[in-house]
Amino acid sequence: MQKYFFLILISLSSGFISTIKACTIFSCARGSEVFAAANEDDMTPFTKVWYNPATKDRYASVCFGAPDMQIASAMNEHGLFFDYSAANYDLSKLALTNPYPGDIMWEVLEKCKTVKEALLILKKYDYVSKSQVLLADKEGNPC
């Protein structure tokens, strides 16, 4: 009887266990080589890859993202890379004084060559997102 009770208890409790979704992002530099990698753990598969050609106003880039063209990760022609990972922020506690009108990471990708340049743009604006971003550049500078 005790075996059956234990088996039923395990069966019922396993129905309440949910899968943990945790993206992984890293960058590292070794000598003259820089590596960046990421995986996206989400229910929506990030199956699109698209290229944005350079213009006189922006750098070329390659983006990886959702079918609705929402960027999950990207790298521009100068080796500036970024990727998002989910975070549990309470956005209602933010006091925004200078919000960016749109997706600020598009501007970072289009206009910046280095993490240092990206931080100058990011420090100018309040940016609302329920995620965190890893930035890395071809010099091996992470942020």
Check whether 18 has a pLDDT greater than 70: no
Q: Do residues 41 and 96 touch, judged by C-beta distance below 8 A?
A: no
Q: What is the pLDDT of residue 115?
A: 96
Q: What is the pLDDT of residue 96?
A: 77
Token digits for 71?
A: 């960027």
Give me the number of domains the chain comprises.
Answer: 1
Check whether 42 has a pLDDT greater than 80: no
For 113-125, the pLDDT digits (tens) are 999 999 999 999 8
Token digits for 95?
A: 């006091």
Let me know the angle formed at the C-alpha of 71 by 125 and 40, rounded to the nearest 5 degrees.
115
For residues 19-26, give the mean pLDDT. Answer: 72
- Does residue 85 fall inside a structural domain? yes
- Does residue 141 fall inside a structural domain? no
Against a cut of 0.85, is the pTM above it? no
Domain that holds residue 22: 2-136
Q: Round to whole Å and give the CA distance between 135 and 74.
A: 10
Q: Round to whole Å and give the CA distance between 22 and 11.
A: 25
- Does residue 49 fall inside a structural domain? yes
